[in-house]
């Protein structure tokens, strides 16, 4: 009886927290807001304009994480197959990677800083090493082409990714919070609304858990709408 009561109390607490905790999908941009964000990129001074447009499209349409954008290399692009391939490992000694390596060594006394750095950079999870189609729109293709014409890699730091998004949001005068991860959530919502199924959406976004993809599809309402149309339009 005690165990049942304890489990019930724990579930109730988790449920209350889920109701009060703000989730990234709550900050998803509408199509209009995303267009305003891209439009605002052009108003920024060079070279921030192209860098910011790249960041917004990479996060808001391809679903890249901020760390993936910061470590982007032009060689990740396979123009023959029109894919962006995020590798399992990309050698890096940037300030962000050095700080992460230092943090890892503080939690593992057997790990040296040099060993930790040898593993840097790597995406967040195993599933994050993925191939993403880049021929989703001509606008996206042109942005990637122009960006890689000028840069072999993203030329700024991990924190610069946040600053670029903030600058665009301020220029666009968008209400609410706009940050890299909400743009990634915007990408997930966009593709879910377009009708992408759970498994392909999971692969596109690099999620470990299929339930995350199912959540975005459920929120979009697309699956429900399609099912109802199939029944009523026979």
Classify residue 139: in a domain, yes or no.
yes
The reply to whether 160 and 80 lie within a common domain is yes
Return the pLDDT at 219.
Answer: 84
Overall average pLDDT of the 14-23 stretch: 48
Classify residue 190: in a domain, yes or no.
yes
Instruction: Reduce the DSSP state of residue 131 to 3 states and report it.
Output: strand
Q: What is the DSSP letter of 153?
A: B
Name the pLDDT band for 220 (thresholds 50, 70, 90).
confident
Domain span at residue 104 reads 89-122
The reply to whether 173 and 198 lie within a common domain is yes
pLDDT, one tens digit per residue, over 108-151 is 888 888 888 988 898 999 999 999 999 999 999 999 999 999 99
Q: Which two tokens stand for residue 95?
A: 């300030």
Give dist(CA 62, CA 152) in Å, integer. 19
The reply to whether 33 and 53 lie within a common domain is yes
pLDDT, one tens digit per residue, over 155-169 is 988 899 999 999 999
Give dist(CA 226, CA 150) in Å, integer. 43
The reply to whether 109 and 138 lie within a common domain is no
Give dist(CA 68, CA 98) in Å, integer. 16
Number of domains comprising the chain = 2
End-to-end CA distance of the chain: 52
CATH number at residue 181: 1.10.443.10
């Amino acid at each position: 009886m005690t165990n049942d009561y304890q489990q019930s109390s724990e579930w109730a607490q988790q449920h209350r927290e889920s109701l009060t905790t703000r989730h990234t999908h709550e900050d998803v941009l509408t199509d209009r807001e995303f267009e305003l964000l891209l439009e605002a990129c052009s108003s920024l001074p060079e070279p921030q304009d192209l860098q910011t447009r790249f960041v917004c499209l990479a996060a808001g349409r391809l679903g890249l994480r901020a760390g993936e954008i910061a470590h982007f290399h032009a060689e990740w692009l396979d123009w023959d197959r029109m894919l962006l391939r995020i590798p399992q490992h990309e050698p890096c000694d940037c300030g962000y990677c050095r700080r992460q390596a230092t943090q890892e060594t503080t939690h593992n006394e057997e790990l040296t800083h040099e060993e930790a750095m040898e593993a840097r950079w790597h995406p967040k999870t195993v599933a994050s090493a993925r191939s993403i189609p880049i021929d989703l729109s001509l606008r996206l293709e042109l942005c990637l082409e122009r960006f890689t014409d000028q840069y072999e890699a993203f030329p700024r730091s991990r924190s610069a990714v946040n600053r670029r998004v903030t600058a665009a949001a301020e220029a666009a005068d968008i209400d609410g919070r706009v940050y890299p991860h909400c743009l990634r959530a915007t990408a997930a919502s966009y593709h879910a609304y377009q009708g992408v199924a759970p498994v392909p959406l999971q692969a596109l976004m690099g999620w470990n858990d299929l339930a995350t993809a199912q959540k975005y599809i459920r929120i979009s309402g697309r699956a429900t709408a399609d099912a109802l149309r199939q029944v009523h339009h026979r």
